[in-house]
Structure 1
Amino acid sequence: MQLVYYRRKRVPNFGDDLNAVLWQGLAPDLFDDDPEVGFVGIGTIIGMPCGEVGHLHVFSSGVGYEQFEAWRGKQVEYWCVRGPISSRMLGLPEDRAITDGAILTPLVDGFPKAAMGGAGTVIIPHFQTLDHPGWPEVATLTGYELLDPRSDPRSIIARIAAAKLVLTESLHGAILADTYGIPWIAFATSKNLGITKWVDWTLSLGLPFDLTMIPPPDPGPILAFGRTPAPFGQTVRFGAEEALARFDERVAPAPVTLTSRVKGLIKRSRLIRPLLAFSPARTAEALTRLARAEPALSLEARRQELRGRMLERLATLEAAA
């Protein structure tokens, strides 16, 4: 079977690109160039376009961005999914909800086997947030290290495993931190954050999902994606029902109207940007305050249990293939 995951031609993202090294490292005999059969791995990719691949083996993927009815007509086998939101929406048995496949990363050669010591605080913005300026200045002002999720998975994960604390807008920044037992705190700088996928994953670990709203150093993310789900400075807890509601918003956005187009043109105007009062100093102050908050981290026993269950499911898939 061939490996199916979300691949960006211009801008890589380490959580997606981890697929290419993780699954080949764990189960190399599964993969060949068969165009008819696909292994759908890490990512919020259930329902994503898969071309002519007619038979899909879903392994640890999640819902969140696509209408999964798009796969109607394909033969789909769900070996495991990211969490209980995915299994509930797909009507799967509860035991199909395990967690994100990145939890297996320490088992693959070339990645740290365990945490490597608490070396400072790192900031991981969403990869699209880094399309906008100001983040190097934020890192300088805070004294924290800026980690770009558009880099190579091995280098990013090695740095995460060596951190003391991870402040992250990137879901896989949190997932890999938790995998290595590194405390983490989630933040959002705009509306461009998938509540559904975050809650799906945190519920798989038995954790609540708390999200803190942080002003970006430049208004670009706000102008591109809209304001955060709550006012800046607030921390909001999202549960299963909110996750389900946010899925509907994400995959069926409000229609574009003449009024919304005019508002969009006004917001993107260069004349209005200086009036919005965003700056690296404001972001740095908010992140410094955030780093003093109580971080999240799952129980080691829970991670070991989930890792064992996923390996069993992978062995079953290999035996059936």
Structure 2
Amino acid sequence: MKLVFFRGHVPNFGDELNLHVWPALLPKGFLDEDESELFVGIGSIIGDHLPEKSRKFVMGSGYAGYMGLPDINDGTWDIRFVRGPNTAKTLGIDPKLSICDSAILLRAMDLPPPDDSVNIAFMPHYESLERGDWAEACRMASMTLIDATAPVDTVLSQIRGARLLITEAMHGAIVADALRTPWIGARPIYGGHHKKWLDWAGALNVDVRLNDLKPTSVLEYYIARTGRGGRLGKVGKFNQSPLAAIPNRILTSIAAQHLQQMARLEPQLSSDAKIVEVTEKAQAAVDGFVRSRVAAA
């Protein structure tokens, strides 16, 4: 059974969690490279892009509309649980299968120690790291930048050590909430990433508040105004040119001031009772799946 998850041109914390969580929680040798059976893990990975003939076992994944909607009634899908109620509704499955994003299973694992030097941190979406200058904005705001492309252990240690996490990256909020670090949600500059937040939050009965970010570059400003993603051709080239240096510095300064304002907002956390409940349900779903596989072997 092969583990499948999104891999782009750079590592991304939310997706790379798959390599951290599943080998730790599943029996040794449970995962291999046999593509006839797929273990569909953490992330917005449900879609019609997965091999049509492969058997697909879904463990806390979500549907975000990045890919086409799959036919889950074609006999190849075995959905044990999904990220949230929006995914369950879209797929037309039992709402009881809406447990939570499976990154919550970090709560059942040994984790790296907290990095107590972090204090207040900001975690941009990994795409924003390429499109803006969030390292400089965080420096100006006297915050720690948490890099979503850094090693998973580094990010986990920083999130655990943070007094407060402001995050544009959804899995920053998911992991912070699971590990009981207060968080403030930042509305992703690219609008295509918004809906999946509501899916995850719905599973935890959290009325998530997504606060607008200020762009740090001409490119981010363009994305926020137009809703377009990608590298954006001429705009992307202009953003890297000397002509954009002055407006980019001004935008970065404004963004830094706005981060400081955001840090004064009321942070969020799901209830202790709810986080324990969904952790137990997710763990039970995984354990039940493993037992069913062992019994069938």
Aligned to 1:47: 47
Aligned to 2:62: 62
Q: Secondary structure of 2:258's match?
A: helix
Normalised by the size of structure 2, how large is the TM-score?
Answer: 0.87
* 1:220-235 → structure 2 map (5 Å cutoff): 220-223=219-222, 225-227=223-225
- Which stretch shifts more, 32-41 or 54-63? 32-41
Runs of 4+ with >3 A deviation: 70-74, 109-112, 115-119, 264-278
Residues 36-81 of structure 1, C-alpha deviation per residue, up to 9 Å, x if partnerless? 0010000011106234661000010001022222777560111000
| 8 Å CA contact 1:142, 1:284 repeated in 2 | yes
1:28 Cα deviation (Å)?
A: 2.7
Q: Secondary structure of 1:69's match?
A: coil
1:210 Cα deviation (Å)?
A: 1.3
Cα distance 1:274–1:188, how it changes in 2: closer, same or farther (>3 A)? farther
Q: Secondary structure of 2:225's match?
A: coil
| 8 Å CA contact 1:124, 1:148 repeated in 2 | yes
Cα distance 1:276–1:111, how it changes in 2: closer, same or farther (>3 A)? closer
Q: 2:277 aligns with which of 305, 309, 314?
A: 305
Question: For the residues of structure 1 that align with 2:275 and 2:143, how far apart are their CA atoms?
Answer: 27
Cα distance 1:74–1:6, how it changes in 2: closer, same or farther (>3 A)? farther
1:97 Cα deviation (Å)?
A: 0.2
Residues 116-137 of structure 1, C-alpha deviation per residue, up to 9 Å, x if partnerless? 7795101101101010342222
Aligned to 1:169: 168
* 1:1-321 → structure 2 map (5 Å cutoff): 1-8=1-8, 10-29=9-28, 30-47=30-47, 49-51=49-51, 54-64=54-64, 65-69=66-70, 75-111=76-112, 119-188=118-187, 190-223=189-222, 225-227=223-225, 265=234, 269=238, 278-321=250-293
Quick one: which amino acid aligns to residue 102 of structure 1?
A
Aligned to 1:238: none
1:272 Cα deviation (Å)?
A: 7.2
Question: For the residues of structure 1 that align with 2:168 and 2:44, how far apart are their CA atoms?
Answer: 15
Cα distance 1:276–1:135, how it changes in 2: closer, same or farther (>3 A)? closer
Question: For the residues of structure 2 that align with 1:266 and 1:19, how far apart are their CA atoms?
Answer: 34
Question: For the residues of structure 2 that align with 1:285 and 1:200, how far apart are their CA atoms?
Answer: 30
Quick one: which amino acid aligns to residue 178 of structure 1?
D
| 8 Å CA contact 1:126, 1:169 repeated in 2 | yes
1:227 Cα deviation (Å)?
A: 2.5
| 8 Å CA contact 2:216, 2:248 repeated in 1 | no
1:188 Cα deviation (Å)?
A: 3.2
Cα distance 1:94–1:149, how it changes in 2: closer, same or farther (>3 A)? same
| 8 Å CA contact 1:35, 1:52 repeated in 2 | no
Q: Secondary structure of 2:147's match?
A: coil
Cα distance 1:42–1:54, how it changes in 2: closer, same or farther (>3 A)? same
Residues 115-165 of structure 1, C-alpha deviation per residue, up to 9 Å, x if partnerless? 777951011011010103422221221111011000111110111011110
Question: For the residues of structure 2 that align with 1:111 and 1:66, how far apart are their CA atoms?
Answer: 34
Q: Secondary structure of 1:28's match?
A: coil
1:268 Cα deviation (Å)?
A: 6.1
Question: For the residues of structure 1 that align with 2:157 and 2:70, how far apart are their CA atoms?
Answer: 37
Question: For the residues of structure 1 that align with 2:165 and 2:21, how far apart are their CA atoms?
Answer: 22
- Which stretch shifts more, 70-79 or 42-51? 70-79
